[in-house]
Amino acid sequence: MKSELIDRINQLARKAKSEGLTPEEKEEQTTLRNQYRMEFRNNLTNQLEHTYIMDEKGNKRKLGKS
C-alpha cells in the first residue's frame, strides 16, 4: 500500500478535526478512503487465497470460502 495514500488520508483527517474540510476535500477524502479499503480487501483476499490448513493427519488443504 502506498504510504503517500495513507499520509494524505491522515492529513485530511487532521485538517477535518482542526479546521474542517471544503466540499472538494471531503470528496477527495471519501475517494481515498474507498481506494484504501479496496486495496486492503484485495490484499487480504490474495493472502487468504494462498493460505493452506493442515489437518491432524498432515494433509494440506486450501482455505475455502465460507
pLDDT in tens, 22-39: 999 999 999 999 999 999
Q: Does residue 66 have a pLDDT over 70? A: no
**Total domains in the fold of the chain:** 1
Question: In the prediction, which pLDDT does 6 show?
Answer: 95
pLDDT in tens, 34-62: 999 999 999 999 999 999 999 899 889 88
Q: Which residues of 12-28 are buried (b: 16+ CB within 10 A; e: fewer)?
A: beeeeeeeeeeeeeeee
CATH of residue 55: 1.10.287.540
- The domain of 54 spans 3-62
* Averaged pLDDT for residues 10-31: 96
